[in-house]
Amino acid sequence: MAETFLNENIDPSLCSIDPTKDIFSRICSAGLTSTPTPTLPADMDNNDDMPATPRFPVKPSNGPTNNPSVSYASLVKNKMALSDAASVALDQFCQARAEDREVLLFVHIVQLLELIKKNEKMELWVISQDLDRKIVTYVKAFVFSPTTVSYRGLNIGEHILKAMRECKVKSLPDDDDTTTNNLVLARIREKCTHYRNVSKSRVKESTAKDSLLRNIAALSHRLAKNSGIKATVQLYQWVALIRWCFVQYPNLEDNEFWPKAVDHTINQFHKRSSNQEELNLCFNAIYEDNKKLYGDPASTEFKAANID
């Protein structure tokens, strides 16, 4: 049922720990499910392979084998503690013919000039306040979206940026401007980390018996505050799921909680459910348990928003 899920996010030690089993068993015992056909998400995010270290084609010199440049290069490598890659590049340069060395030097100068231009552009281009606010809005929408199936995927930043482009958010750099796009992606990832951690802290706070955020309505409205996100019943259900995950795995650190608890749980429910209806029944069962344990949202001052 999931569209995107990264199994590599799951700690192997959690494979035998499955708190979703009880929820699904209750659904099955009530006769509400069909025979589940476990499925894994079809689309997987893949690591982009790092580009290989560039190698320049070098024609060996026709001169004598006792090239003084090679001897001097060995002395330089020992004194300057060059990396392996730098040592190989130096050896290739020294073994080249004199005319080829001039070409290599020119290539390196051009590379340096391009790097300087990129750095200058990065220093001049800044994320506007309006774009920064839009990034926060889209990041929060991602964190609390009922359709989210992986909170720590490898390409989450790219997914959010793509959604912003599809919605024609202003002030975004051109799609082919790699330098400034990397700045935006870095900001998106930074905000994702921040709001995941903030959300977990609020969820943890809400489990205290005297917490003002104990009711799911109060917690949901607090999390959605100043974000432009409507506190709907669907949001209540999703926040209830995140809190349920926290209760099942209370000792995980911030950087471990989302992949090892939330992503793992979502994946287990998707695998056990043979269709969207069964998946919804599982999430609704957690929501109903939440109301019994923490209070009915209808008893609070907060009102769920309607979906337009």
**How many distinct structural domains can be found in the chain?**
2
Q: Tell whether 176 and 268 lie within a shared domain.
A: yes
* Residues 36, 273 contacting (CB under 8 angstroms): yes
Residue 63 in any domain: the answer is: no
Question: What tokens were used for 271?
Answer: 């695998």
- Please, what's the largest Cα pairwise distance for the chain? 92
DSSP track, 277-305:
HHHHHHHHHHHHHHHHHH--GGGSS--PP
* Domain finish residue from 124, 142, 163: 124
In total, the chain counts a number of residues equal to 308
Looking at the fold, whether 153 and 193 belong to one and the same domain comes out as: yes
- Angstrom distance (rounded) from CA 237 to CA 287: 5
The pLDDT of residue 16: 52
Please indicate, yes or no, whether residues 92 and 146 belong to a single structural domain of this protein. no
Running DSSP on this structure, what letter comes out for residue 175? T
Q: What is the pLDDT of residue 255?
A: 83
Residue 267 covered by a domain: yes
Amino acid (1-letter code) at residue 52: A
Residue 62: inside a domain: no
Tell me, yes or no, whether 98 lies in a domain.
yes
Residue 227 counted as domain residue: yes
Mean pLDDT, the chain cut into blocks of 10 residues (308 residues total): 43 57 74 47 41 46 58 76 81 82 84 75 75 90 75 77 91 85 92 91 95 95 84 90 94 88 89 90 93 93 79
Domain residues for the domain of 82 are 68-124
Tokens of 34: 């069909």
117 with 239, same domain: the answer is no
